[in-house]
A = this chain, B = another copy of it.
Amino acid sequence: MKIKGIYTPIITPFGKNNEIDYESLETILKFLLKEQIHGIVVGGTTGEYFSLNFQERIQLFDFVKKKVGNKCQLIAGTTSINANEAMELSLIAKYLGYKCILLGSPPYSQPTQEESAQFFLNVAKKVQIPIMMYNFPEKMAFEIKEPFLKKVMSNKFFTSIKHNSPNPAMIRHFVSTYPSLQIACGNDLQFLEFCTWGSESWIGGMSNCFPQLHLDIYKSAVMKKNFMTAKVKILKIKPIIDYVISIGKYTQSVKFIMHELGFCKETCRLPYLKLTTEEKKKIKKLINFAL
């Protein structure tokens, strides 16, 4: 499965009783499809998967698949702190029609490289569809390193990796050791750096809010190889990203921006809270800078 373009890790909007707000979700899906986003990741980190229970995660997969069909690529985020649950979710996603899953090592438990790799191989054996490995050490307390890769990379289903790590040496390692591995940039500001190493895809939460800008950057950097233009464009979203990271409220802010853009309520589930009035004011200004 070719991974190429802008993939939006779609937010999960919530209603007034904190239930999943499917109506808003449909609106957002339509918006992203209209903007011609290349793919959508359902139930990822920006989608607050950790706050959904097992049933909700399945319903979410089901709903999105039914609404989107084959209008763009769909990837199901099946990471779970509970390894068995991750396995079941992966299988269910497949049955619901997903052709790719995004899977992280079970957070918190800190398995060894070999244990985690074995878990990935078990999932691959069961689902028999391409698996995008999710490397996000800061949150998962697990980093994909060479011993892990050595064990899984001979399996044909491990065709791509979403990489969001402060360790830049790993990208070079992927490229030189596993040249066929497709590297998706998982960081909101490092897409250009990834491109120089051959990456052609970008999964950034801010593409929920600014899909056009992300698509523009993709076209400049990947299609036209014009990094000068791409740089100017990426600098347009830098202030808002820097700000939401500085206050430690990335997902909460993406939600708020989507609310400001008229797509849904600003509510996140616990432990996330609403932004303060001060933060909202600041973000509203920065939205205009990015648009």
Do B83 and A269 touch across chains, with their CB atoms under 8 A apart?
yes
Known: A53-B82, A112-B247, A196-B231. A271 touches B189 (CB 8 A): no
Which of A111, A122, A189 gathers the greatest number of chain B CB atoms within 10 Å?
Answer: A111
A23 at the interface (CB under 8 A from B): no
Q: Give CA–CA (A50, B245) in the complex, Å.
A: 28
**A273 is an interface residue with CB less than 8 A from chain B:** yes
> Which bracket fits the contact residues of A?
35 or more
Q: Which stretch, A3-11, A137-145, A152-160, A258-266, touches the partner chain B?
A: A137-145
Per-residue B-contact encoding for A184-215, CB less than 8 Å = 1, 0 else: 00000110110111100000000000000000
CA distance A206 to B108 in the complex (A): 19
The reply to whether A115 and B238 contact each other, CB–CB distance below 8 Å, is no
A272 within 8 A of B: yes
| Most chain B CB inside 10 Å of its own CB: which residue of A193, A225, A248, A270 | A270
Q: Which of B81, B111, B122 contacts A272 (CB 8 A)?
A: B111
Interface segment out of the listed A89-97, A124-132, A169-177: A169-177
CB of A35 closer than 8 Å to a CB of B: no
> What distance in Å separates the Cβ of A95 from its nearest Cβ neighbour in chain B?
20
Q: Does A119 contact B (CB under 8 A)?
A: yes
Q: Which residues does chain B contribute within 8 Å of A85, judged by CB atoms?
A: 53
Q: Are A50 and B231 in contact (CB under 8 A)?
A: no
Q: Indicate whether A273 sits within 8 Å of B115 (C-beta atoms), given known contacts A166-B168, A227-B195.
A: yes
A109 on the B face (CB < 8 A): yes
Q: Which residues of chain B are near A226, meaning CB under 8 Å?
A: 225
Interchain CB contact under 8 A, B238 and A176 = yes
User: Which residues in chain A, 234-291, are within 8 Å of chain B measured between CB atoms?
Assistant: 235, 238-239, 247-249, 251, 269-273
Partner of A138, one of B141, B168, B249: B141
The answer to whether the Cβ of A59 comes within 8 Å of any Cβ in the partner chain is no
Q: Chain A, 95-138, contact with B by CB distance < 8 Å: what is the 0/1 string? A: 00000000001111111101110110010000000000000001
The chain A residues found within 8 Å of chain B, CB to CB, are 45, 48, 50-53, 81-85, 87, 105-112, 114-116, 118-119, 122, 138-141, 166-169, 172, 175-176, 189-190, 192-193, 195-198, 225-228, 230-231, 235, 238-239, 247-249, 251, 269-273
- Pull 20 A–B residue pairs with CB atoms less than 8 Å apart, ordered by A: A51-B84, A83-B270, A83-B271, A106-B271, A107-B141, A108-B140, A109-B251, A111-B248, A112-B247, A118-B271, A119-B271, A166-B166, A166-B167, A168-B190, A168-B193, A192-B197, A193-B193, A198-B231, A225-B225, A225-B226
Beyond known contacts A111-B271, A115-B272: 13 more, CB 8 A cutoff: A52-B82, A83-B270, A84-B270, A107-B108, A107-B141, A112-B249, A176-B239, A192-B196, A192-B197, A196-B230, A196-B231, A225-B226, A227-B227
